[in-house]
Structure 1
């Protein structure tokens, strides 16, 4: 019997969208601390996401001077549930470290085509404001995949049922409407706005592609975590009385210095 010449497997190369953490030159421990704070609680805003570490702003001398060890970053990301898939930068030393870890390496020029965003400083317990480019060297920038361009207004994804614990819904390039509750342990994410017409007990992340004008609306607010464009709040210490189990709007307040994530009670009756 002649064997078929066609292979049972086709291999195709695909470009994977990933969160890019662009780091500024700083000593290793300071840089790791900044990354840890930016990652937030575990599970956090970037859990289960592929990630790229971008050292394009570092010279080879700065990488050596600050004792940069790529393995330390990879272990920190892994502990936060984030998978490091690529490193960008300059120099054979960094490339060798990436090769030892089995991580793809690209030269710094790979980032030039991506849109620039103003870096964000990081805090462990509260959202932060955008920083001026030349303030503190240890701060990092988290660039989410770009929002696709559409001919019409931004699309809307509608989920007409509850989101159960362990489920993760992502509305890429769209707003998200959930017609039911989001259970504890569930996660709803949108590049645009997130609307939950039910009890929000899990995690809600709006503006995942960097839209700092995005908002979250819940008719019954009991969330574990909320985030807008990477700024996050958790509620281990409880909820403000005016928001507990009530209709609530979550948005970024740009009128303060630093900017802050705000909860606002809303009247929907």
Structure 2
């Protein structure tokens, strides 16, 4: 009987790789469709034509509370299809029951949407007795064309210019100590109480919270002047700084 050969060495046990989980926040833009829907989509198309890079590849949340209140949930899939047809990157839906999105011809995309995203509009938690100062970001160089400064934790201060084709997005207020020629959107976290200040208004678009205006809407009287942008009773208002 042949001898039994030496046993194979036990297979080496390789340690499993460590899995790392990182915290990352994504800032989404919110659209609020409202009836008459044909007029609303026509206005959206006009603004997309004026500022084609406004949405870009940024995630978008559809707040359908007003649309559902006006006309019920029956047209929700049509509204969302209209937004998708304009190549908006829908990542969430608010203001509608989850069951409305499922079992419809539009369910293919509805499955991928997060329904009822938690956000700033929810009831705030009680504030502690001592509230720490809000964080801020200081940008000590010009913001060049194609660059995007995104800081959702608080205010942004830019010591130089914001070039055409650049953008600054802030959770709080925005201060630009130079010409503002690109896009500036404030209040994405803190809401309509925030403001935008600049030493020379030459912007393509300014916005606070869910309101925005393009250069065609504020007239030549403010162009090239120190200005501030604020929300006043639900309207975005621009005014010169003395």
TM-score by length of 2: 0.70
Secondary structure in 2 aligned to 1:104?
Answer: coil
1:98-131 alpha-carbon deviations (Å, 9 max, x no partner): 5413742556xx46886359xxxxxxxxxxxxxx
- Determine which of 94, 108, 113 is the counterpart of 2:101: 94
RMSD after superposition: 4.0
Q: In 2, distance between residues paired with 1:158 and 1:12?
A: 24
Q: In 2, distance between residues paired with 1:168 and 1:113?
A: 23
Between the two proteins, the alignment pairs up a number of residues equal to 221
Alpha carbons of structure 1 residues 185 and 67: separation in structure 2 relative to 1, 3 Å: closer
Q: What is the aligned partner in structure 1 of residue 112 from structure 2?
A: 104
- Determine which of 200, 205, 212 is the counterpart of 1:225: 205
Q: What is the aligned partner in structure 2 of residue 72 from structure 1?
A: 82
Q: What is the aligned partner in structure 2 of residue 247 from structure 1?
A: 226
- Checking the alignment, whether the CA contact within 8 Å between 2:192 and 2:231 is kept in structure 1 is yes
Structure 2 counterparts to residues 38-187 of structure 1, below 5 A: 40-41=47-48, 42-43=51-52, 46-55=55-64, 58=68, 62-64=72-74, 66=75, 68-69=77-78, 70-76=80-86, 78=87, 82-87=88-93, 89-90=96-97, 94-96=101-103, 97=105, 99-101=107-109, 103-105=111-113, 110=116, 115=121, 151-187=131-167
Which residues of structure 1 form unaligned runs of 5+?
Answer: 118-147
- Residue 47 (structure 1) shift: 4.2
- Determine which of 162, 179, 193 is the counterpart of 1:213: 193
Which of 1 and 2 has greater Rg? 2
Alpha carbons of structure 1 residues 10 and 63: separation in structure 2 relative to 1, 3 Å: same
- Residue 15 (structure 1) shift: 7.7
Secondary structure in 1 aligned to 2:203?
Answer: coil
Higher relative contact order (CA closer than 8 Å, sequence separation 6+)? 1
